[in-house]
């Protein structure tokens, strides 16, 4: 075997993540508030970038002061020429190496907002899209102290559900942490906390319903209403004082920011829906090409010219990236509205199974792009303001190739099968899979087990033991307890 040197040519394709491409991706997932902050920083950094509404004429014809600034900018360019890379954008949220740019705040833990804390519990407590949408609507109404408005009558009307549906979801929200959250008044807040402590007996209920007498220090009247003696009423008042009248305040003093929608959805004249961007959330910037031309004539050093050439390229890129971001948000939002037309017309009960891939395929984009666009973006509709991600619900494929089934509907079907099973014919997970496939639902056994456990339904062996025990001890059910579950 001979060993020799030779030249080989190979052709290959690979995706190169340039700094500007990485920044374009980051811009997609920024909220409108973060985007505004980012653009403000770029306006300060780049002398060729200006607000569209600052001085429109300045973009076409520089003033005398602009010419006077050329020398000053040239000196600044000379100082920065050694440190400026071809792309001057730094990674969003990243830290620089210089001491002057060292950001200690980057190491401070971010305080959890009350609404975020409640939203995390919401995703676990509800699986049905309609209930989750009602819950999110109510959470968005919670103030900094943890209270809801006294009147929730508009919630049912706006969401297209019954008042009982809203009350049912509210009852679950009021069991969330912190205790007392989502109350509509002080009495309800304290009652929720007392129930949590198992101390809401009739006497305490009478006290809670007459807090006005407690404020007046009318102890005699309270003692009579509660039917207790002096010692008991003193203990009860002590318990009330140990409760938290503002449970939401435990999440720190972080200022709650007003939710500004990125997209508006309004009824159209043709019976459809008109989708438009909120122009107030879109930073408008221009590239001052004329200013660059004037500066390039007065700057003689090669390093200075390179600095301003890079500034021009970066400014041009930012304008295009902002425009592309706006177009992408509008395209994704429009497709969501088209897919979820039933929600906007009839209410949350008509939410369809929808995932990122369905939207991405419809608008010919990648799923990751749709995922970034729907993060931290809000849509104002006739039924309230919702984050775009709340219009996505999981789905299960149809066994016969027909329309997919929502995961919530499949869970409901599994629960119905188990609730109707006979003690002598307990359904195993494999049997449930077979029955679901006979109904046209293609699902794996591990998925059935996952859904069953999420609904806190025990396995077939434990259910058989429970039902056999109930059948055997019907006459003494009130005096005995069922057998312990297997660990």
Name the residue ranges covered by the structural domains of the chain.
23-84+260-393, 114-251, 399-476
pLDDT given at position 394: 61
pTM of the model: 0.57
Least Cα distance to 384 among 265, 268, 267 occurs for: 265
Contact yes or no for 78/304 (Cβ under 8 A):
yes
pLDDT given at position 274: 92
Least Cα distance to 273 among 345, 346, 377 occurs for: 345
pLDDT given at position 53: 66
Count of CB atoms situated within 10 Å of the CB of 412: 15
Q: Spell out the per-residue pLDDT of the chain, length 487, in tens.
A: 567 677 777 776 655 556 767 777 888 888 888 888 888 888 888 888 888 765 444 444 344 444 444 444 444 443 443 333 333 333 333 333 334 443 433 434 445 688 888 888 887 788 777 888 889 889 988 988 999 998 887 888 888 888 888 999 999 999 998 999 999 999 999 999 998 888 888 989 999 998 888 888 888 888 888 888 888 888 899 999 999 999 988 875 444 456 789 999 999 888 889 999 998 888 888 888 877 777 777 776 666 678 888 888 888 888 898 999 999 999 999 999 999 988 888 887 788 888 888 899 999 988 888 888 888 899 998 888 888 888 887 655 555 555 556 666 677 788 888 888 888 889 999 999 998 888 778 788 888 888 888 777 888 888 888 877 777 765 544 444 455 555 4
Count of CB atoms situated within 10 Å of the CB of 474: 8
Contact yes or no for 211/187 (Cβ under 8 A):
yes
pLDDT given at position 331: 94
3-state secondary structure of 169: helix
pLDDT given at position 362: 93
38-73 exposure pattern, b = at least 16 Cβ within 10 A, e = fewer:
bbeebbeebbbbbeeeeeeeebeebeeebeebbeeb
pLDDT given at position 259: 74
Count of CB atoms situated within 10 Å of the CB of 168: 13
CATH dotted code for 399-476: 1.10.10.60
Task: Beginning with the edge strand found earlier in the chain, give each strand of the sheet holding 273-277 in spatial order.
Answer: 273-277, 263-267, 378-381, 384-387
202's tokens: 């009739």
3-state secondary structure of 88: coil
pLDDT given at position 327: 92
Contact yes or no for 314/89 (Cβ under 8 A):
yes
pLDDT given at position 193: 92
DSSP single-letter state for residue 406: E
pLDDT given at position 283: 86
């Amino acid at each position: 075997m001979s060993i020799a040197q030779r030249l080989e040519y190979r052709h290959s394709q690979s995706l190169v993540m340039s700094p500007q491409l990485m920044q374009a991706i980051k811009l997609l997932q920024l909220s409108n508030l973060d985007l505004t902050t980012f653009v403000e920083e770029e306006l300060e950094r780049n002398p060729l970038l200006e607000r569209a509404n600052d001085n429109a004429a300045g973009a076409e014809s520089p003033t005398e002061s602009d010419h006077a600034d050329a020398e000053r900018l040239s000196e600044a360019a000379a100082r920065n020429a050694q440190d400026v890379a071809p792309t001057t954008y730094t990674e969003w949220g990243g830290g620089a190496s210089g001491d002057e740019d060292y950001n200690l705040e980057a190491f401070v833990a971010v305080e959890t907002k009350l609404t975020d804390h409640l939203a995390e519990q919401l995703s676990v407590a509800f699986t049905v899209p309609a209930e989750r949408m009602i819950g999110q609507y109510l959470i968005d109404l919670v103030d900094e102290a943890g209270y809801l408005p006294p009147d929730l009558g508009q919630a049912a009307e706006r969401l297209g559900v019954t008042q009982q549906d809203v009350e049912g979801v509210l009852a679950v929200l009021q069991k969330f942490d912190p205790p007392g959250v989502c109350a509509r008044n002080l009495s309800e807040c304290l009652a929720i906390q007392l129930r949590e402590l198992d101390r809401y007996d009739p006497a305490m209920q009478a006290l809670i319903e007459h807090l006005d007498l407690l404020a007046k220090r009318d102890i005699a009247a309270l003692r009579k209403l509660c039917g207790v003696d002096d010692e008991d009423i003193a203990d009860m008042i002590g318990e009330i004082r140990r409760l938290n009248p503002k449970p939401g305040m435990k999440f720190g003093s972080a200022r709650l920011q007003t939710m500004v929608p990125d997209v508006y959805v309004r009824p159209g004249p043709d019976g459809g829906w008109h989708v438009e961007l909120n122009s107030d959330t879109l930073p408008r910037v221009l590239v001052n090409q004329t200013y660059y031309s004037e500066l390039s004539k007065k700057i003689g050093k090669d390093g200075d010219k390179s600095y301003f050439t890079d500034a021009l390229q970066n400014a041009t890129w930012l304008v295009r990236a902002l425009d592309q971001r706006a177009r992408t948000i509008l395209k994704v939002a429009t497709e969501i509205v088209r897919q979820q037309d039933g929600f906007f017309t009839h209410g949350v009960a008509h939410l369809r199974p929808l995932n990122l891939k369905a939207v991405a395929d419809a608008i010919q984009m990648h799923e990751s792009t749709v995922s970034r666009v729907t993060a931290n973006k809000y849509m104002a509709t006739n039924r309230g303001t919702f984050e775009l991600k709340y219009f996505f619900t999981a789905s299960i494929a149809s066994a016969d190739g027909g329309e997919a089934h929502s995961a919530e509907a499949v869970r409901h079907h599994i629960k119905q099968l188990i609730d109707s099973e006979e003690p002598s014919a307990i359904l195993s997970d494999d049997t449930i899979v077979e029955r679901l496939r006979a109904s046209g639902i293609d699902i794996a056994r591990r998925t059935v087990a996952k859904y069953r456990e999420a609904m806190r339904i025990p396995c077939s062996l434990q259910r058989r033991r429970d039902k056999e025990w109930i059948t055997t001890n019907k006459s003494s059910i009130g005096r005995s307890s069922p057998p312990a579950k297997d660990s």
